[in-house]
Structure 1
Amino acid sequence: MAHLPELIRDLALILLVGAFVTILFKRIRQPLVLGYIIAGFFVGPHFQLIPSIVDTENIETFAELGVIFLLFSLGLEFSFKKLLRVGGHASITAVIEIVFVSSLGYFTGQLLGWSQMDSLFLAGMLASSSTTIILRAFDELGIKTMQFARVVFGVLVVEDIIVILLMVLLSTVAVTQQFEGGEILFTVFKLGFFLMLWFLLGIYLIPSFLKRARQWMDEETLLIFSIGLCLGMVILATRVGFSAELGAFVMGSILAETTLAEKVEHLTKPIKELFGTVFFVSVGMMIDPAAMLQYAFPIVVVTILTIGGKFLFSALGALLSGQPLKQAVQVGMSMAQIGEFAFIVAALGLSLGVISEFLFPIAVGVSAITTFTTPYMIKYSEPFYNWLARVPLAHWKDRIEHYATGTEKLRANPAWKVLFKEYIRIIVINSIVLIAILLLFRYAFLPFIEGKIASAFVQHAVTVAAAMLPAAPFLWAVVFQKPRCDAYQAMWMDTATNKAPLMAIEIVRVLIGVLLVGLFIDRLTSTHVALWITLPVILPFIYLFSRRIQVLYQRIEAHFISNLNERENSLIQADNSGRLNQKNEEVQSGLQAWNAHIVEMEVPPLATYAGRHLKDLGWKEAYGILVVYIRREENIIHLPGGDHRLLPQDHVGILGTDEQMMHFKAAFESQEDIQYNDMAIEDISLHQVMLQATHPLVGKSIARSGLREDTDGQVQVVGVERDGIRMLNPEASLVFKAGDIIWLVGNRKRIREVITHPATNPPDWPPPPEPLASSM
C-alpha cells in the first residue's frame, strides 16, 4: 500500500471541516472568517471528537503562504492612487483612531501586567477594524449609499496601509529588541524610502513589460508570472529587513495600476481563498477553551476597550476632520470591532517568538463578541445620535455643527498649497531615485571594479562618471524642473507679491541639488573629492547639457505617467464612468456642508417605472431628490429633462441627503410582481391535435379561444396546418376551422386535456402520439 503523506490527510481534514462549518455560518449569516477559526478549533489539539492535525510544521508553512496571498490580494484591491483619492476626512479619522486606540491598547496591556512585547502587539491588533463585518452589516441594513458609509470605506483603506506599516515596525522592534526613538525613526525613513523606490521602479517597468508580452500572456502564464512577482518581492522585502507581508502588499499595489489588475485578481482569487482558509484554520487550532476561560477578564476588558475606544476616537476623528455630529457618531459606531488583521499581527508575533500564546484566544474572543455587536451598533447609531443631541450635547451641538461648516470653507485649495505640493513631489521623488542609484553604485558597481582597477583614484573616477550618467536627469529635475500646474505661471506673473517667495524656493532647491551631488560623490569617493568636483565640474556639466538632459527626463517622466495612468485611461476609454466618478467627487465635496451627496443606483430589470417620463414620476416633488445624470452603457445624459425615460439597467445619479435617499430607495427599487409557474422543464412537450367540426375551439380565434386562460397559461399554439399550408406562430386573430391540425406546446398533462376532448379526434384517429420533443 502506497504511503500517503500526513500533509495530504491534514489538508483534506482542514478543507472538509472548513467547508461544512462555513456552510453553517452562511446559513446563520455570520462572517466566514469566524467560521474558519471555529473549524480550526475543531481540528486542533483541544477538540477530541474528530481527528486532529498531525503535520503542524507544513501547515504553518501553508498558513504563512496564506498571509502572503491575503496581503497580495489586498494590494490588488488597494493601489496607492486609491489612497490619494481617499480624502482628508477619512485620513484624519483613521490616524486619530489608530493613534489613540493603539495607545490605549498598549497601556491596557501594561496595566494587566503583560510584557512590553505583548502590550505592543495588542496595540497593533486593535489598530484596524473589520472590512468584512462592516460590509456585511451595511448590506443587510441597506445603508451602503448613505454619506457616512463613504467615510467609513475611506477610513478602512487608510487603516489597511497604516496597519501594514505597523507590522513592519513591530517586526523591527521584535527583532532588534530596541525601543529607542532614533532606531524607530530610522526604520520609518527606511520604510518610506523603499516603498517609494519599489513603487517608482515597479510602475516604470512592470506595466511596460506586460504591454509588450500581452500577446503571449494567456491565463496560465499570467497566473504564474503574477505569483512569481509576488514571491520575488517577498524575498526582496525580507532581504532588506522588512516583513514578507509588506513585499506581497507592495507587489499587489503595483499590479493594481496595470490594465490586467482585474484579471490577476480573478486568477489568484482561488489561491488566496485556499491558502487563506488554511491560515485562519491554523489560527483556530491555537484556541484553548481553558485559556479563554482563564483569560475571560482580559477578553472582557479588551472588548470594552475596542467598542468604547474605537467608537469614541473614530467619532472624534470624524468631528475634527469636519464631519457633522450625526455622521461622526455613525462612523464611530460602525468602526467598533477588530478586523482580520488582528490575527495576522498575532501570527507575526508568534512566528517571531516574542509574544505569549494567550493573545490568540483573546483576539478570537474579542472578534466573536464584536462581530455580533457591530450590526446593532450601526442600526442604532441614529437613535443614539438623537439622544446625544437632545441630552448630553444639547448645548454643544450648535458649536460642533458650526465647526463642521467652518472647516468646509477651508477646504478650498489655494494656489500656494498646490504649488508647494508640486515642489515637494519634484524634490522627493527625484531624490529617492538618486539615493537608489547611489546605493547601487556604492554597494554593487564599486566592489565589482575594485579587483579590476589597481588605482583607487581611477576606481573612484570611473564610478563617479558611470553613476552620473543615469543620475544626471534626476539631478537636473531637482534643480531646474518647473512645477506642472497653472498656479506656477499665474503666481510668477504676479511680481508684486509672489516673485520674491518663488525666487527663495528656487534658491533652496538649487542648494538641495548641490547637497545631493556632494552626498552622491562623498559616498562614492571622499569628502575632499566631493568638494572639488561638485561645484566646478558636475553642476556646470548639468547646466551646459541641460537641454538634452531635459528631453531625456521628460521622456522618462512621460513613460512613468503613462504607465501610472494606463489602467485609469483604459477604463475611461471603455466608458465615461471614470471621469463621471471624478466629477461626482468634486460635486460632493462642494455639497458637504449641505449634507448632500450623489449616489449612483441601477434601475432594476422589472422596475415599475421603467419607460415612463421623469416628469410623470414626480420624484423631486415627492422625495426632494434630483436626477443629475443617466448613464446608459457608454452614453451619459447629463441633467436629464422631464421628457427623458428610465430604462432597465440604467445607472442613475441621484442627488439628495441621507434622509431623502432612505425614503426614495423603496420607490426606486420597486419591481413588478410577476407570478412564475412551477412547471418543470421535463413536463414541457410538443403535441398535434386535429379539430373536428364539433370541437369547441372551432369558430373561435386564438385570442378568444380561452385556451391559454383555461390551462393557466401552460399551453400555447405554436403552429396551425390548414389545407397543406403551415403557419408558424399564427396571429392571435386567426380563427380555428374544422380540419385544422394545431400544434401545441406546454405542460404535457394540460395538453392531453385538450387532445382527449370527445370532439377533438374522430373514432378512427390514432391515439395521441408520443411527444415530438421532450423539452424546449
Structure 2
Amino acid sequence: MTLLRRNWPIGHADILIAMGGAFLAAAVLARVGARIGLPTIPLFILAGILLGPHTPGIVIVSDPHDMEMLSALGLVLLLFYLGLEFHMDDLKAGGRRMALAGGMYLALNIGAGLGFGFALGWGTSEALVLAGVLGISSSAIVTKVLVDTGRLGNPETRPILGIIVVEDIFLALYLAALQPVLSGASSLGAAVLDGGKAFAFLLLLALAARFGTRVVGRLVATKDDELLVISFLGAAVFVAGVSEWFGVADAIGAFMVGLMLGSTASGTRIRTLVHPLRDAFGAIFFFAFGLSIDPGDLPTVLWPVLAAVSLTLVMNVLAGLGAAQVYGFGAGPAANISTTLLARGEFALILATMAAAAGLDDRLSPFIAGYVLVLAVLGPLTASASGGWAGAPTGWVGSVHGRVRARRGWSRSSPRP
C-alpha cells in the first residue's frame, strides 16, 4: 500500500475517504430509517449536513465540490431509471392530458413564485429566480419517492411523470431565457438563439425516442450483462453531457435515453441491472445536496422560508386536484400527486449558484437553501403518509376533492365523464 500511495497525487486519499464515508453514512442512516419508518431521502440529506464543512464535529468532506461528479452521476442514473419506467406508449397516448396537467402545475407554481418574489421586494431579477425556485419540482426526489413508496405502477404515476417531463422541457427554455437577464446581456437575439438551440436539441431527442428505438435496441443488444451495463451507462452519461452543451439539463438527456432503451428488447434486463447503481449513486446525490447547506444561514430568512413553503403547499394541492380532474382520479391519487411533486431540489440549487454569480441579493442563497431543505424533508414524509390521510372521508384533500366533484354533479365512486 505504501508503494502504491507514493504515486498518488496529493489529496487522492482524502477524496477516497470522502467517497467511502459518504457511502457508509448513507448506508447506516438508511438502516436507521428503515427501522423507524422514515424515508431515506431526508436522512441522506441530514448525513451531508452533519458530516460536511458547515457543522461542528466530524467532517469527512471539507469541500462539497469533491462530490460533484458522483452527485451528477447520481442524478443521471435517477432520471435514466425514470425514463425506463415511462414508456413511449404512455407518452403518445397521454400527450394532451400530460401537457394540460403539466401546464397547470407550472402556471400555478411559477405564477405564485413570481408574485412571492415581487412581494418580498428584493428586486425584479430576484423575483424571476424565485419563480423558478418555487415553480419546479425536484426530478431526483420525485423519482426516489416513487421508488421508495412502491408507486411506480400506480395510475397516478403517469401524470406525475408527465408533469416532470413538462417541467424539464420548461426548465431548459427558462434557463436559456434567464441567463442573459442575470448576466445583464442586452441582446434579445442571444437569448432567442440559446432558447432555440435548447428547443432544437429537445426536439431531436424526442424524434430519436419516437423513431430510433429499433436501431438503438440493436446497438445495445447483447447476452453479456457486463457489456450491457457498459453500453447503457455510457449512453446515458454521454447524452447527458451533450445535453449540457446545448443548454438542456443533463437530467432530461438521461431521461430520454432511458425512454428509448426501456422500449427495447433489453429494457427489462436494463431495469434490473441499473437498480444497484441507481440506489448507490442516488444516495450520494442527496448526501452531496446536504453538504451545500449551511444551517447557520437559515435563521436570517426563517419567515420568508416558512411563507414560501406554505404557499407551495397550497399551490401543490390545487395543482394535484387539477391534475386529478384532468385524468378522472379520486382523492387518494390527487393527494399522491400533490405530495410527490412537493419537493424542490437540484434546479433550485442551480438557480442559487447563478444568482450568487450574478451578484443578486445576498439573502437569496440562504433562502433557497432553507426552502429546499424544508421541502426536501417534508415532501418525502408527506408522500409516504398521503395514502392514510388522503383517502379518509374526513381527510382534507378528500374533503376538498369531494366538494369539487359534488359541485360538478359527480359522485365519489363514479368515473369522470
After TM superposition, the score normalised by the length of structure 1 is 0.45
Consecutive unaligned residues in structure 1, runs of 5 or more: 406-590, 595-776
Q: Deviations over 1:390-434 (max 9, x none)?
A: 9xx5xx8655126x99xxxxxxxxxxxxxxxxxxxxxxxxxxxxx
The correspondence of residues 654-665 of structure 1 with structure 2, limited to 5 A, is none
CA drift at 1:34: 1.2
Q: Is the 8 A contact 2:39 2:384 kept in 1?
A: no
Q: Deviations over 1:639-679 (max 9, x none)?
A: xxxxxxxxxxxxxxxxxxxxxxxxxxxxxxxxxxxxxxxxx
Using the alignment, how far apart are the partners of 1:286 and 1:304 within structure 2?
23
Are 2:170 and 1:159 aligned?
no
**SS, match of residue 281 in structure 1:** helix
What is aligned with 2:256? Answer: 250
Using the alignment, how far apart are the partners of 1:341 and 1:306 within structure 2?
9
Larger gyration radius, structure 1 or structure 2: 1
Q: Which has the higher contact order (CA 8 A, sep 6+)?
A: 2
What is aligned with 1:592? Answer: 415
* Closer, same or farther: CA 398–117 of 1 in aligned 2, 3 Å: closer
Higher helix share: 2
Q: Deviations over 1:181-200 (max 9, x none)?
A: 98777766654443332343
**SS, match of residue 37 in structure 2:** coil
Are 2:80 and 1:78 aligned?
no
What is aligned with 1:208? Answer: 215
Using the alignment, how far apart are the partners of 1:387 and 1:256 within structure 2?
38
Using the alignment, how far apart are the partners of 1:196 and 1:6 within structure 2?
43
The AA in structure 1 aligned to 2:388 is K
The AA in structure 1 aligned to 2:302 is A
Using the alignment, how far apart are the partners of 2:342 and 2:317 within structure 1?
18
What is aligned with 1:672? Answer: none
CA drift at 1:37: 0.4
* Closer, same or farther: CA 389–43 of 1 in aligned 2, 3 Å: closer
**SS, match of residue 93 in structure 1:** helix
**SS, match of residue 231 in structure 2:** helix
What is aligned with 1:313? Answer: 319
* Closer, same or farther: CA 49–261 of 1 in aligned 2, 3 Å: same
Once the two structures are aligned, what percentage of the paired residues are identical? 18
Q: Is the 8 A contact 1:17 1:39 kept in 2?
A: yes
* Closer, same or farther: CA 107–337 of 1 in aligned 2, 3 Å: farther
Q: Is the 8 A contact 2:15 2:66 kept in 1?
A: yes
* Closer, same or farther: CA 281–179 of 1 in aligned 2, 3 Å: farther
CA drift at 1:306: 2.0
The correspondence of residues 423-434 of structure 1 with structure 2, limited to 5 A, is none
Q: Is the 8 A contact 2:319 2:338 kept in 1?
A: no
Q: Is the 8 A contact 2:332 2:398 kept in 1?
A: no
Matching residue within 330, 334, 337 for 2:336: 334
What is aligned with 2:9? Answer: none
Q: Is the 8 A contact 1:295 1:362 kept in 2?
A: no
CA drift at 1:89: 5.3
The correspondence of residues 221-620 of structure 1 with structure 2, limited to 5 A, is 221-319=227-325, 321=326, 323=328, 327=330, 329-337=331-339, 339=341, 342-350=344-352, 352=354, 353=357, 356-358=364-366, 359-374=368-383, 378-381=387-390, 382-383=393-394, 384=396, 393=403, 398-401=406-409, 592-593=415-416
**SS, match of residue 14 in structure 1:** helix
Q: Identify which range, 238-247 or 283-292, moves more after superposition.
A: 238-247
Using the alignment, how far apart are the partners of 1:153 and 1:74 within structure 2?
11
Using the alignment, how far apart are the partners of 2:343 and 2:378 within structure 1?
16
* Closer, same or farther: CA 171–386 of 1 in aligned 2, 3 Å: closer
* Closer, same or farther: CA 386–212 of 1 in aligned 2, 3 Å: closer
Q: Deviations over 1:269-292 (max 9, x none)?
A: 333333222221111112222223
What is aligned with 2:45? Answer: 37
The AA in structure 1 aligned to 2:91 is L
Using the alignment, how far apart are the partners of 1:180 and 1:376 within structure 2?
49
The correspondence of residues 578-727 of structure 1 with structure 2, limited to 5 A, is 592-593=415-416
Root-mean-square deviation (CA), in Å?
3.7
Using the alignment, how far apart are the partners of 2:138 and 2:112 within structure 1?
10
Q: Is the 8 A contact 1:311 1:333 kept in 2?
A: yes
Q: Is the 8 A contact 1:171 1:243 kept in 2?
A: no
Using the alignment, how far apart are the partners of 1:243 and 1:374 within structure 2?
26
* Closer, same or farther: CA 70–113 of 1 in aligned 2, 3 Å: farther
* Closer, same or farther: CA 262–209 of 1 in aligned 2, 3 Å: same
Q: Is the 8 A contact 2:177 2:192 kept in 1?
A: no
CA drift at 1:68: 2.2
Q: Deviations over 1:472-500 (max 9, x none)?
A: xxxxxxxxxxxxxxxxxxxxxxxxxxxxx
What is aligned with 2:130? Answer: 119
CA drift at 1:255: 1.5
Q: Is the 8 A contact 2:45 2:290 kept in 1?
A: yes
Matching residue within 61, 72, 77 for 1:69: 77
Are 2:58 and 1:50 aligned?
yes
Using the alignment, how far apart are the partners of 2:165 and 2:28 within structure 1?
33
The correspondence of residues 692-771 of structure 1 with structure 2, limited to 5 A, is none
Using the alignment, how far apart are the partners of 1:313 and 1:209 within structure 2?
36
CA drift at 1:341: 6.7
What is aligned with 1:103? Answer: 111
CA drift at 1:53: 0.7
* Closer, same or farther: CA 45–206 of 1 in aligned 2, 3 Å: same
Q: Deviations over 1:243-283 (max 9, x none)?
A: 32232222222222211122223223333333222221111
Q: Deviations over 1:726-758 (max 9, x none)?
A: xxxxxxxxxxxxxxxxxxxxxxxxxxxxxxxxx
**SS, match of residue 52 in structure 2:** coil
Using the alignment, how far apart are the partners of 2:263 and 2:111 within structure 1?
35
The AA in structure 2 aligned to 1:108 is F
Using the alignment, how far apart are the partners of 1:13 and 1:340 within structure 2?
30
Using the alignment, how far apart are the partners of 2:143 and 2:48 within structure 1?
22
Aligned residues: 392
Q: Is the 8 A contact 2:45 2:286 kept in 1?
A: yes
CA drift at 1:84: 2.3
**SS, match of residue 157 in structure 2:** helix
* Closer, same or farther: CA 377–304 of 1 in aligned 2, 3 Å: farther
Using the alignment, how far apart are the partners of 1:212 and 1:280 within structure 2?
33
CA drift at 1:133: 4.1
Using the alignment, how far apart are the partners of 2:219 and 2:197 within structure 1?
33
**SS, match of residue 338 in structure 2:** coil
Consecutive unaligned residues in structure 2, runs of 5 or more: 7-11
* Closer, same or farther: CA 127–332 of 1 in aligned 2, 3 Å: farther
**SS, match of residue 115 in structure 2:** helix
The AA in structure 2 aligned to 1:54 is S
* Closer, same or farther: CA 313–251 of 1 in aligned 2, 3 Å: closer
The AA in structure 1 aligned to 2:349 is A
**SS, match of residue 317 in structure 2:** helix
